Amino acid sequence: MKKSPLQRWETRWGLFFIAPWLIGFLLFNIAPMIASLGFTTMHFDLANPDQQSFVGADNWVRALTNDPLVWTGIGKTLLFTLFTLPVGFGFALVAALLLNSRLLLGTKLFRTLFYLPTMIPLVAGVIIWAGILNEYSGWYNQIIQAVSGYKAVGAGGLRWLASPGLVYFSYTLIGLWSVGNTMLIFLAGLQGVPTELYEAAEVDGASWWARLWKITVPMLTPVLFYNVVIGIIGLMQYFLVPFVLNGGSGFPEGWTNFIMIYFYKQTFDYNNMGYGSVVAWIIFFLGLVFTALLFGTSRRWVFYAGDKE
């Protein structure tokens, strides 16, 4: 169907206004992705850019079949994701429920306090938490020892960042520092639930727990779906906390050798841009697969108010 002059005029102005974003997207997203895909077929040494050679699919074969560290990194990343994602979302949802309560006094103050840490650079937050979790001088160990009498302080105590059994819990605890964004999204979803649904449930005598599971949770599933997708994509690129704390060494005992750490080592420590690009594309495909699975299953568990049975 032929467009009217007004529609053509609106289309031209629309393209004009989004042109800066389109140009930036092409230059800083699409072009680097195409370049990195080309690098996967090459041996490209960053320290010696003149010494590069075409290796075809050798980098891919090495990564997928001959390099166990790739699969180790993927395994550690997935294990940490399974541990930290439910904890982080559970904490954010509980905080949002409390902040959305009509019985809470000083709601605006508490919302600000919960969101404020996200305004502080994560590197600073990691350094602060490294001090809090220190086995010798950390607040946590001193409080635990003072309250329970358990010898938590010292080398024989609770080594939050140095014990394989505690390191994922510690990293999850550090991640709660920046849970404000997720909490705010959950809070927005809660405020979008029609109040008449709660009023009707109260008239029918439904308990708070029944209202939570029968009304709140189903109405929050679109928000939960969004947060899960963003959370998984972010955790596939989990890098900053282990890098700041131990320089990406995998300490303790290789439990923090996440796949993004391995990508960094290959690209910048070993200067192998070609093989590092392969690892980067593996990370991309991992995020793509999980996102596709979530979208494929969303019809079974994501409820939209306009849906019809």
Q: What is the pTM of this model?
A: 0.90
Q: Model confidence at 296, in pLDDT bands (50, 70, 90)? A: very high
Average pLDDT over residues 132-154: 91
The pLDDT of residue 1 is 65
The domain limits of the chain are 59-301
> How far is 202 from 31, CA to CA, in rounded Å?
56
- Give percent of the chain with pLDDT exceeding 90: 70
Of the candidates 258, 276, 274, the one whose C-alpha atom is nearest the C-alpha of residue 266 is 276
195 compared with 58, residue with greater pLDDT: 58
User: pLDDT tens digits for 89-108?
Assistant: 999 999 999 999 888 888 88
> How far is 194 from 209, CA to CA, in rounded Å?
17
Residue 309, pLDDT > 60, answer no
Average pLDDT over residues 136-156: 90
Measure Cα distances from 74 to 31, 163, 279 in Å. Answer: 26, 21, 10
Residue 181 corresponds to which amino acid? N
Of the candidates 83, 60, 268, 226, the one whose C-alpha atom is nearest the C-alpha of residue 165 is 83
Residue 304, pLDDT > 90, answer no
User: pLDDT tens digits for 234-251?
Assistant: 999 999 999 999 998 999
Q: Which CATH class is domain 59-301?
A: mainly alpha
Please give the mean pLDDT across all residues of the chain: 91
User: pLDDT tens digits for 250-289?
Assistant: 999 999 999 999 999 999 888 899 999 999 999 999 999 9
164's CB contacts (< 8 A; 6+ apart) are: 252, 253, 255
131's CB contacts (< 8 A; 6+ apart) are: 137, 138
